[in-house]
């Protein structure tokens, strides 16, 4: 991290990250990680919170990769556990790409359970072994995807008994995402996100969301897809008794 902050990373490491170094990139990586930690704190206080960024789940402890520099969720969980605000956590990663860095970081931590639903033929091409990985076929559509989620999430919450859920709500499973390879509609993503927030809330588990991946040359288009997660959370929060 010191080399990244100083701008002294070699070209091999920068190519692995996939982003050109700048002072702004350093500030963004640090702010995004801090935002995820804050989202975790606020979720513990209010039941739900979202960082409008984060989800950089490809980052490993010693290096960044796949547009990810710091693994914000893992950093936040380490801090929250160090402060004894939580003991156990469940990471629900629904970004279209497997969070290989997250899986590796927590592979020997039974208190942190990693659950990922991702496109099997998509990046990263060498997957890490998470606690539960569902490899999805290319072109899967709303109903089959949602059935898999609804079959597994309540069971994981019941069995793992987390103090906090971190939800990586990547919008890149969307059918129009150029890097996604899945076929979910905007309505399907809204149902997906609503289900995660509602299931956590009905189980009495605080949930902190991060936006994760999503790609488009049209900034307005990708902002609208990311906003699906915020709309789902807002609607569910307002409906709390």
Q: What is the predicted pLDDT for the residue at 11?
A: 84
Taking residues 14-37, what's their average pLDDT? 92
Whole-Å CA distances, 43 to 70, 102, 142, 207, 239? 21, 20, 28, 6, 16
Q: What is the predicted pLDDT for the residue at 8?
A: 63
Q: pLDDT grade, residue 117 (50/70/90)?
A: very high
Tokens found for residue 11: 């070209």
Question: How far is residue 95's CA from residue 116's CA, in Å, rounded to a whole number?
Answer: 8
Q: What percent of the chain has pLDDT over 70?
A: 98
- The one catalytic residue in 58, 106, 174, 226 is 58
> 113 near 190, Cβ under 8 Å?
no
- Residue ranges per domain, the chain? 2-238
Place of tokens 């290096």: 63
| 223 or 239, higher pLDDT | 223
Residue 7 has pLDDT above 80, yes or no: no
Taking residues 59-65, what's their average pLDDT? 94
Q: How would you label 22-52 residue by residue, b for 16+ Cβ within 10 Å and e otherwise?
A: eeeebeebbebbbbbbebbbbbbeebbbbbe
Q: pLDDT grade, residue 53 (50/70/90)?
A: very high
Tokens found for residue 120: 């099997």
Alpha helices in the chain (DSSP H): 2-6, 11-17, 23-46, 72-82, 100-105, 142-160, 186-202, 219-238
Sign of CA dihedral 118, 160, 104, 91: positive
Q: pLDDT grade, residue 75 (50/70/90)?
A: very high
Tokens found for residue 3: 């080399």
Contacts with 172 (C-beta within 8 Å, 6 or more apart), sequence order = 95, 96, 97, 179, 180, 212, 213, 214, 215
Residue 241 has pLDDT above 70, yes or no: no
Contacts with 210 (C-beta within 8 Å, 6 or more apart), sequence order = 36, 39, 50, 51, 53, 54, 55, 72, 73, 166, 167, 168, 169
Taking residues 189-199, what's their average pLDDT? 98
Residue 77 has pLDDT above 90, yes or no: yes
Residue 5 has pLDDT above 90, yes or no: no
> 93 near 168, Cβ under 8 Å?
yes
Residue 194 has pLDDT above 90, yes or no: yes
Least confident among 10-19, 115-124, 165-174, 196-205: 10-19
Q: What is the predicted pLDDT for the residue at 6?
A: 67
pTM metric for this prediction: 0.94
Phi, psi dihedrals of residue 184, rounded to the nearest 5°: -85, 145
Taking residues 76-82, what's their average pLDDT? 98
Residue 1 has pLDDT above 70, yes or no: no
Q: What is the predicted pLDDT for the residue at 157?
A: 98
Write out the CATH class of domain 2-238: alpha beta
* Of 148, 214, 147, nearest in space to 177 by CA: 214
Q: What percent of the chain has pLDDT over 90?
A: 87
Question: How far is residue 183's CA from residue 140's CA, in Å, rounded to a whole number?
Answer: 6
* Beta pairing class for 207-210 and 132-136: unpaired
> 134 near 116, Cβ under 8 Å?
yes
Tokens found for residue 4: 């990244």
| 4 or 100, higher pLDDT | 100
Q: What is the predicted pLDDT for the residue at 26?
A: 93
58 is catalytic: yes
> 184 near 173, Cβ under 8 Å?
yes
Q: What is the predicted pLDDT for the residue at 44?
A: 98
């Amino acid at each position: 991290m010191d080399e990244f902050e100083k701008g002294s990373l070699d070209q091999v490491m920068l190519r692995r990250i996939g982003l050109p170094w700048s002072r702004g990139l350093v500030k963004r990586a640090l702010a995004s990680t801090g935002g995820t930690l804050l989202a975790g704190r606020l979720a513990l206080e209010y039941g739900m919170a979202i960082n409008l960024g984060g989800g950089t789940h490809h980052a490993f402890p010693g290096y960044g990769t796949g547009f990810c520099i710091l693994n914000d969720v893992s950093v936040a969980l380490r801090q929250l556990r160090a402060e004894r605000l939580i003991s156990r956590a469940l990471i629900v990663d629904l970004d279209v790409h497997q969070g290989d860095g997250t899986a590796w970081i927590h592979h020997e931590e039974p208190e942190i359970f990693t659950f990922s639903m991702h496109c099997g033929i998509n990046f990263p091409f060498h997957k890490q072994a998470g606690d539960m990985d569902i490899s999805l076929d290319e072109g899967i559509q709303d109903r089959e995807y949602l059935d898999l989620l609804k079959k597994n999430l309540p069971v994981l919450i019941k069995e793992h008994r987390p103090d906090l859920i971190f939800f990586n709500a990547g919008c890149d499973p969307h059918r129009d995402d150029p890097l996604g390879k899945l076929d979910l509609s905007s309505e399907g993503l809204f149902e997906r996100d609503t289900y995660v927030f509602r299931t956590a809330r009905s189980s009495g588990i605080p949930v902190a969301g991060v936006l994760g991946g999503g790609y488009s040359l049209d900034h307005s288009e990708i902002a609208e897809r990311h906003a699906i997660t915020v709309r789902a959370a807002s609607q569910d929060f307002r409906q709390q008794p």
